[in-house]
Homo-oligomer: A and B are copies of this chain.
Amino acid sequence: MKTHTEYLTFNTRNHREYINITDKVAGAVRKSGVAEGMVLVSAMHITAGVWVNDAEEGLLADIDEWLERLAPYSDYRHHRTGEDNGDAHLKSLLVHHEVILPITKGALDLGPWQQVYYAEFDGQRRKRVIIKVMGE
């Protein structure tokens, strides 16, 4: 059994930002030498997410608007702690903080339009994602 671990670091220019990390994940899979297995891609923060969907700018704007509708910036109890990012926690819960992807014949086994995204909901500070490959 082989494992391989990498960490990605982000410090986005915008408060919310959606970054295509498919190439980084594919690179980690290559470096791992794993032919058959799985790769976990997981945000290490509670105000960020990771998802698999289309790399299409219009859709990304749709998703951003939709998330703001379902989990709006608002006055939350959480803000009594001095934070003002309650909405980012809810957005993270909604889209989830991790995905796990199949590896077949040494490469990510994704469908034709599947791309891996890091979703930053409370940026402009240092955030991390862990990539952990496991297989043989």
Interface set of A (CB-CB < 8 Å, partner B): 1, 3, 5, 36-38, 40, 42-46, 51-54, 56, 58-59, 61-63, 66, 70-71, 76-81, 86, 89-90, 92-102, 104, 109-114, 128, 130, 132, 134-136
Contacts and interface: CB of A to CB of B under 8 A. Distances in A.
Contact of A70 (B58, B70, B113): B70
Main DSSP-derived SS at the A contact region: mixed
Given A37-B3, A92-B53, A135-B3, A42 B80 contact: no
A99 B93 CA distance: 11
A95 B91 CA distance: 11
B102 A99 contact: no
Nearest to A109: B130
> Most chain-B Cβ atoms within 10 A of its Cβ — which of A44, A46, A61, A99?
A46
A54 B88 CA distance: 12
